[in-house]
Amino acid sequence: MKPSKTLFVICIALFTTAFTYAQQDFQGVAYYESKTTMDMDNFGGREMSPERKKMIMDRMKSFLEKSYTLTFNKTESTYKEEEQLEAPGQGRGFGGMMSSFTAGEQYKNVKSNQMLQEQEFFGKQFLIKDSLPKLAWKLTGETKQIGQYTCMKATAMKPVDQNDWRSMRRRGSDDDKKEDDNKDQAEKKTDTTQTASTNLLDEIEVPKEIEVTAWYTMQIPVNQGPGEYWGLPGLILEINADRTTILCSKIVLNPAEKEDIKVPSKGKEVTREEYSETVKKKMEEMREMYGGRGGRGGGRGGRGR
């Protein structure tokens, strides 16, 4: 039997088995671990000692490594972060700012093509309402095992939200030669701390799109997945997107105590575009604030005070 025919037979067998989960009150809970890597060297880390790097990464851990639960039925799901205690210092500075970019509880309804997300941003509560984002998934035919589930691979190009901190990087970070050439000139600046604060936001950029790889199982035939991901003929168990990996660690089907999948309702209702504009304005305010401080600091230095 040819490989393509073998794969087709496997798909049919898995899909047939999946109908055992087709009862009217079917529900499942999937547990995911998310991890985002960050290259400290692209954010001034080359001048830091290993101890300093480790201290910063420890403070950032709660934002780079997260645990989520996805509660789903045949048409709906809620995806929310599991609460965890913060280590000392994590709620301040850069870490405190990043917490305002962390997605709140998400609700997806594949039948009504609706996505709702509760989001707190700098003390204000929003309810982002939008249609489900659609990706042009390409099925590759590759398979692998995740736990007890046979998974298939799919890829897609995804537009990136310009406020998504997981894909933020330093502008021109790959141009190492240029950075080295400018190193001596940068070291001559008398107030490197203020310079870094002033320029950090200006130097950050986000790519317009990234490639996403998904692994889904037809043994659980629901059109769901972690976060904003969905649209495949089976539950998505793994996502690889830029520097972020989301991996399912446990699945409970038809739990003894079923959880009501509630539609979020807290916060000021806005569209995704309106929320992005709010974030953009806030970032511009912060850029002006830090720039103003840097300017005043430079003025004092010029007067010799």
Q: In degrees to the nearest 10, what's the CA dihedral of 13, 16, 21, 22?
A: 160
Question: For the chain, what are the domain ranges?
Answer: 3-298
pLDDT tens digits for range 27-55: 999 999 999 887 655 555 556 677 766 67
Distance CA 40, CA 37 (A): 10
**Strands 244-253 and 106-109, how do they pair?**
unpaired
Q: Is the pLDDT of residue 272 over 80?
A: yes
Q: How do residues 130-183 score in pLDDT, each as one tens digit?
A: 999 999 999 999 999 999 999 999 999 998 776 665 655 666 654 444 444 444
> Is the pLDDT at 21 greater than 90, yes or no?
no
Residue 185 pLDDT > 60: no
**pLDDT, position 191:** 47
Spatial distance between the Cα atoms of 72 and 235, rounded to a whole number of angstroms = 10
Give yes or no for a contact between 60 and 96, defined as CB atoms under 8 angstroms apart: no
* Structure-token match 């040819």, residue found: 2
What does the pLDDT read at residue 179?
44
Measured between alpha carbons, how far is 182 from 172 in angstroms, rounded to an integer? 13
> pTM here?
0.72
